[in-house]
Each structure stands twice: as structure tokens, then as C-alpha cells.
Amino acid sequence: MQRSRVAWCSVLSALLLLAGCVRVAVHGDPDAWAESMGMGPKLRVATYNTSLYDDAEGGLVRRLESGDDHAAKIAAVLQRVRPDIVLLNEFDYDAPQRAADLFQHRYLEVAQPGGGQPLHYPHRYLAPVNTGVPSGLDLNADGVVGTQGRARGDDAWGYGLHPGQYGMLVLSRHPIDAPAVRTFSLLKWQSMPGAARPSNPATGAPFHRDAVWSRLRLSSKSHWDVPIHTALGVVHLLAAHPTPPVFDGPEDRNGLRNFDEIGLWARYLSDEPQPWLCDDIGRCGGLPADARFVIAGDLNADPSDGAGRPGAIAQLLAHPRVDATFVPRSAGAVERAADRGLARTGDVGTHTGDFGPAAGTLRLDYVLPSRNLRVVDGGVFWPVSGTPEADITGASDHHLVWLDLRGR
């Protein structure tokens, strides 16, 4: 009996010692402990509509050069969340990458008030987008081709007051396979099988003349497939920013375009051949069935509320290759929705932005992984008011959404 008691005490002591080591490891470096226990490396992926745009060409560069409070707050949020890969929507594009350089060196790599330690991204991807690029066509069907101001923007391939406004920027701690990137800015809307061509509801006649419809591009900015070499293997970041389903007329041309822009990714992930789905250098077809991917961006579609076409975002949320079971949340969204007091059928805790007294809060921003990745955590960086973190969240009407992923 005594010998058995001694043996049991020895086992118990060993277990307590192991537990103590585990607690120390978790406190010191949880990811290292998780990897040592065979759980595999973790990848944090985020999307953030930064509202870092300017109505004047070169305006964002000039603001970043002189010191921009909004950019500092955006950088502070990124320093707090510290994603490994992040898509920034509404970050004006310029071909020399001056804005991206300034944001990296003068904002992310400098500790910001309310932020954290400086943050360095050695890899980035950016490319031209359709916003603000003149089409030479009468896209809004008002009888003229706009050449100035909003009229010019309405007849651009994607609405914008200058080329590159509301662009996209991918920042990554992991190498980007730039030669393998696929972009779909030139893809014609009519190329999509079953494309939702806008029509005049009073007459049934097409909203766009045939000569316009045959050339109209689907993507209002662009759709990018950005392969990134991570510790989980190659992960394809599927980045986009579909047009908001508003600012049009009874023909609902923006609502229909938003639906089909979201549908492009659904087709890209389809098991069926997609010979029509050709990228900007002529490579056709969708994403291989075994590829790991994350869909990210401000998709401008709420699952239950808002002005979007019914079922728009369901094309992705219910897609057999997408794991949409983990829904990021925040306490700040619940608080703001209560302040707005608008009727909602969806879960307000999942909302990602506040769009004013009339539109209220909605879930528009998404990070959606493939089913061969495993979600271990996630959230929306939207603190409740009165907290120190809340001071850095007012630079955009959207809030950063993030997921922590591991392999399966």
C-alpha cells in the first residue's frame, strides 16, 4: 500500500510539473506551445476598408507626406491586431507605389498612439483597378459621356473621380508569388453565363445599349487571386471590393453588378469547368479543387439586411468549398446598432461597419476560408465606446475583420 502511494505521488508530481510548464509556455508564447503540441502553425488573415482615398489624383500621397491622422489610426489598428496577411480596401493606387511606401515607412513602422509595436510587411501586392478609368462610353445611360466630376465618375469602368481611387493593397509577412497572381479587371460582364443584365422595369428594355453592354467590365475595381507562400502551404488570397448596391435607379444596375461580382468568386471555386473565366493575361478557368484559399474584402452585401440583392452573399456563405461557420463578432457593433435603433433581422453582433443614421450598421466585410483550413479564432476590431481602443477606430466607417487559421 505504501509503495503504491509513493508511486502515485510521483506520477502526480510529474503531472503537476508538466502542467506548470504548459502554463509558462502558454503565457510566454502560445503559438510556439501550440506548434510543439502538434497543432501546427497559425496564420492571421484580415481585411480592412481603410477609407484612405482622396478625391484628387495624388491627394493621398500628399496627405501621407504631410502627416495624416486617419492613416495613423489605421496603422494603430493594424499594430494592435498584427495580421500576417491583410487586404486594405479603399487605399488609392498609384503606379510608383508612393502611397504604399509612405504608409509602410512613416505609419506602420512607427509606433502609433493607441497602437502597438512597429509593424513591417516585407511583401505587398497592388495593381491598377477599374475605378476612375474612363470608359469612353455612356455607362449611366444619361445620353452623354461624362468628362468632369461625378458625371465622369459615373461613366468610368468603376465609379471614381480619378484612376486608382478606392484601390486595393495586399500586405504580407509571407512571400507573394507575383508571377502566379491572377487579376480579372478586364473580364466582360456579359461573359458570365446567366449574367444579370440590368433592364428598365417599366419597359423591360435593356438599360445599356448592346454596344455598351458588350464592353462593360464586371469588376468595379478588380478581382485578384494572390498566391502567398505561408507555413500552411500556398494560400490563395481572393481579394475584391464589389460595388455598393446603391447609387443607381430602378434598373438596380449596381445591385445586379454587386451580385455578379460576388458570384464571380462562386464560379471561380466551382467544380464545373469555367472556360469563360479568363484573367487579364488570358489564363482561363477556376481555382483547383485542392487549393487553400481565403476570400477577403468589403463585399458590400449583408446576409439579412441592407440594400443588396437577396442571396448575394449567400453565393459564398453557402458555397460547398467555403467554411463560413465561424462568424467574427464585436461588442462595439452591438452597442452601435442599439444607438442607431434600426430594425434588423440579422445578428447585429456580426456587423462590421456603421454607415450613418439612415443605413445603420451592417455586415459587409468578410474573411472566408476554404474548408481545408481550420478557424481557431477571429473577431472584428470594434471596441465599445469609452475604452482606450475606441479612440483609434474612427478613421473609417468599416472595422477590421480577422481570422486565425491552421491547416487541417
pLDDT at 121 over 90: yes
Nearest 5°: the CA angle 134, 138, 141 is: 140
pLDDT single digits (tens) 2-39: 444 434 334 334 433 333 333 323 334 445 545 545 46
pLDDT single digits (tens) 334-355: 999 999 999 999 999 999 999 9
Whole-angstrom Cα distance, residue 117 to residue 107? 11
pLDDT at 274 over 90: yes
CATH class of 44-407: alpha beta
Per-residue pLDDT, 40: 82
State the number of CA atoms in the 13 A half-sphere of 230 facing the CB. Answer: 26
State the number of CA atoms in the 13 A half-sphere of 40 facing the CB. Answer: 15
Per-residue pLDDT, 116: 86
Coil, strand or helix at 184 = coil
Mean pLDDT computed over 253-278: 98
Q: Confirm if 369 and 296 have CB atoms less than 8 A apart.
A: no
Cα 135 to Cα 194, 220, 399, distances in angstroms:
24, 12, 32
> Which residue would you say has higher pLDDT here, 22 or 394?
394
Beta bridge partners of 239: 224, 296
Per-residue pLDDT, 39: 67
Mean pLDDT computed over 125-140: 98
Mean pLDDT value across the chain: 92
Mean pLDDT computed over 125-130: 98
Per-residue pLDDT, 35: 53
Which DSSP letter does residue 64 get? H
Mean pLDDT computed over 84-89: 99
Per-residue pLDDT, 10: 44
Mean pLDDT computed over 314-327: 98
